[in-house]
Amino acid sequence: MLHGLAQSGPYFESKTKGFRRVLEPLGYEFYYPTAPTKCSPADISTDIDDLGASSADDYHTWIVPDPVNNEYRLPDITRTFLREYILEHGPFDGIIGFSQGAAVAGYLLTDFNHLLDLTEEQQPTLKFCILFMGFRFKPDVYQEQYIKHPITVPSMHVAGQLDTVVDVAKIHDLHAACAEGTGTYLEHSGGHFVPNSKGFVTKVAEWLQSLPE
């Protein structure tokens, strides 16, 4: 479970109780890493409240600004951290991300084991990914990866109809990076958050159960 910008693992865990309540009886176990890089409100262009941020002294980020090029990048520290986390706690069946965490997951899923330097034995091919408000990385340096390595892991891309943080077009851009027939698009009626309603999470559960073993 990869949290969003200015959140932490424990905070994201507290915000997804309803989500887990439906899926845990199906046998799913959830892990909530915290991004290794801390950030401050000054580093964040979006309103903190809109992000659904954690407490003021516990802001974390998976990606970091690149002020020289007026862009951002996925730092080596994030990839190293996730590799070590998987080696310690995995292997995993799937990956779920929210906002920035979903964007990171989406990029890594273009070639997950290669980008994290993991063998098939250390981490077998993931069975699914669920990306809430996940967007495609914008900097040019990442585009070749999306083009040459379409996402083949069965994926669900969720947009919030009232989301004012991640435009739905950006979610479609990541969805378009999937191999044909592998990506599912779904909307919920709220804003920038992971829906906890039983009705919505049941749709997610039904999708998971429809996937091949």
Task: Just list the catalytic residues.
Answer: 99, 163, 192
| DSSP single-letter state for residue 68 | T
Tokens of 20: 């887990």
DSSP code per residue over 117-186: T--TTTSPPPSEEEEET-----SGGGHHHHHHS-B-S-EEEEEETT-SSS-HHHHHHHHTTBPTTTEEEE
Count, in order, helices (H) and strands (E) of the chain: 9, 8
DSSP alpha helix (H) spans, the chain: 9-15, 17-23, 48-51, 76-89, 100-108, 112-115, 143-148, 168-175, 198-210
